[in-house]
Amino acid sequence: MIIRTALLFAATLLFAATLACGPASAASLGDPSSLNARAPESYKAKFETSKGTFVIQVTRSWAPHGADRFYNLVKAGFYNDARFFRVIDGFMVQFGISGNPDVSAAWTDATIPDDPVRESNARGTVTFATAGPNTRTTQVFINFNNNSGLNGQGFAPFGKVVSGMDVVDSLYRGYGEGAPRGNGPNQGLIKAQGNAYLVTQFPKLDYIKKATVE
């Protein structure tokens, strides 16, 4: 408990310092309304992780709202130091909850409209997670297999891993499904405590060192 509290306090101090003197993009993480640039029709996002590097090719015409949101999040550094907190063998790997609780709180209600499903959830495609109609915010997942059954549920891919899929396949998946259905991380606690919770309770999770638009 003492270690977790200390880590959370340190993360809060780091976030405050970033807002005070960091680059404009970092400061914008506390103001989702400021991150609304239109994405290029095609772009690549490079993810440097604890297991290696993978690259996502985004095609805006597949899902314009999703492509725009992902572009702004990557450009602002939202995914930096975020954990791959839900890794389900044979299904998908999910990420996109900030390691900083203050950032998570700022994005809780920053939803984007749904996109029509134009591409299938094939292996390697990248799609925003959703809790129902028009609820997409920051969480995304990469399909391990052909999950075409998701198409009819409104999950619209906006990009695809074009290099480093072997890295994605190697991400730690030992914790399985998240709580309360499984023994993995509880999303509510991730949002409330950030990496302080994950580092102490789920130390084997792989993570994103840095994500950039190429």
Residue 131 neighbours by CB distance under 10 Å: 10
For residue 14, pLDDT over 50 is answered with: no
pLDDT of residue 182: 86
Residue 86 neighbours by CB distance under 10 Å: 26
pLDDT of residue 34: 95
In whole angstroms, what is the distance from residue 49 CA to residue 66 CA?
A: 22
Q: Quick one: average pLDDT of 36-44?
A: 98
Residue 75 neighbours by CB distance under 10 Å: 18
Q: Quick one: average pLDDT of 170-191?
A: 93
pLDDT of residue 19: 41
Beta-strand pair 52-59/92-95: unpaired
For residue 16, pLDDT over 90 is answered with: no
pLDDT of residue 179: 86
Q: How does residue 106 score in pLDDT terms, banded at 50, 70 and 90?
A: very high
Q: Dump pLDDT digits (tens) for 86-100.
A: 999 999 999 999 999
The mean of the pLDDT values for the chain is 90
Residues 6+ away with beta carbon under 8 Å from 90: 144, 145
For residue 8, pLDDT over 90 is answered with: no
Asked if 15 contacts 196 with a C-beta cutoff of 8 angstroms, the reply is no
Q: How does residue 189 score in pLDDT terms, banded at 50, 70 and 90?
A: very high
Q: Quick one: average pLDDT of 29-39?
A: 96
pTM for the whole structure: 0.88
pLDDT of residue 180: 86
Q: Which of 16-25, 96-105, 109-118, 181-190 has the lowest mean pLDDT?
A: 16-25
For residue 17, pLDDT over 50 is answered with: no
Q: Dump pLDDT digits (tens) for 118-147.
A: 999 999 999 999 999 999 999 999 999 999
pLDDT of residue 78: 98
Structural domains in the chain plus CATH codes: 2-24+35-213 (2.40.100.10)
